[in-house]
Amino acid sequence: MSSAYKTRSGGELLVVATPLGNLGDLSPRARESLGRADAILAEDTRRAGLLLAACGLGGKRLISLHEHNEEARLPLALQELAQGRTLALISDAGTPLLADPGYKLVRACRSAGHKVSPLPGPCAALAALAASGLPPQPFVFLGFPPRKAGDQQRFFTPFAALPLTLIFFERKDRLRATLERLHVMGGQREICLARELTKTYEEFIFFTLGDFSAFPQELLGEITVVAGPPAKLDKPAPDAQDIAFCHNLPLKPRAKARLLREQNPGLSADESYRLMVRTESGAAQPVQPASGGKRSGRT
């Protein structure tokens, strides 16, 4: 680890996960840590005050820290820590930093040598993945996609064709258009919409990209999207006429395999070579080409 990140004595920043909706998900350790913190950095101080009051921790000092003022809050936070105080960082719900502010603060604290301790707990992305029934490994969490179509295309491009499960948040009024764009870019995927996680009206909605018949007419609450890997489409078998044509050429197997692959892009180099070797050895008899040894039909 770089010397810039060596922890020195002083205050401590606690990164505390808070409930998504069910207060019972606040861990005893998180409750104790919020209680002993000298101040709490919160994305929304009003919502933080309600949470603390429900936990019997009313009256705590609250400092707002959100996406628009995080940079400006760094000097104050670092000063508090330098004086030996303990700060707790919370988001509106779930684990801080995941699609929420806090990254700049944690990095600044590490650079200044202050201790940073995570208190793990609720996380909407992991909760949705765990209950979706979609492949959990590997997955990528993307946060919130950008709003504009062009920006979204650039956002999804690195992941669209990869065999990954994608997890992201999206607002209900943009969800349909976002999923249609993902379908155009990445083909068919199984989709799970996890709505109102851990709350009274928790719901999981399933459908496949390309078939939006199960897409709800009305969506309420907060939505986490889990998109399974792209569907594996069956590769077409290599054309028998192509195999016969390549087999009859006066070339070595590897040269024949290259030509076969040019005519059948779905074949890998190894597959085409093995097929030519098997044909040469008589393990697989080639189909004789039509018209006196010349290929017909395909060009």
- Do 113 and 22 lie in one domain? The reply is yes
- Rounded CA gap, 283 and 286, in Å? 9
Q: Which two tokens stand for residue 154?
A: 């650039």
User: Residue 117: which of 12, 35, 244 has the closest Cα?
Assistant: 12
Task: Please indicate, yes or no, whether residues 191 and 248 belong to a single structural domain of this protein.
Answer: no
Domain-ending residue, one of 196, 227, 258: 227
Are 22 and 103 part of one and the same domain?
A: yes
Residue 114 sits in the same domain as residue 194: no
299 in a structural domain: no
Residue 136 lies in a domain: yes
Structural domain including 184 reads: 125-227
Are 140 and 29 found together in one domain? no
The number of distinct structural domains making up the chain is 3
Query: Are residues 290 and 242 in contact, defined by beta-carbon separation less than 8 angstroms?
Result: no
DSSP symbols for 71-127? HHHHHHHHHHHHTT-EEEEE-SSBSTTSSSS-HHHHHHHHHHT-EEEEE----HHHH
Sheet strands (E) in the chain: 12-16, 39-42, 62-64, 86-90, 115-119, 139-141, 165-169, 190-195, 203-208, 223-227
Please report where in the chains the tokens 């986490």 appear, as a residue: 224
Residues 73 and 26 in one domain: yes
- Report mean pLDDT in 10-residue bins for the chain, 299 residues: 53 97 96 97 96 92 96 97 97 94 96 97 97 97 93 92 94 93 90 96 94 87 94 67 82 85 74 77 50 40
Cβ neighbours of residue 112 closer than 8 Å, sequence gap 6 or more: 78, 81, 82
Residue 22 within a domain: yes
Domain end point (choices 98, 122, 146)? 122
The pLDDT value recorded for residue 9 is 57
- CATH classification at residue 219: 3.30.950.10
Gap between the Cα atoms of 147 and 149, Å rounded:
7
| pLDDT number for residue 21 | 92
User: Residue 234: inside a domain, yes or no?
Assistant: no
As a whole number of angstroms, the distance between CA 106 and CA 244 comes to 64
Residue 252 placed within a domain = yes
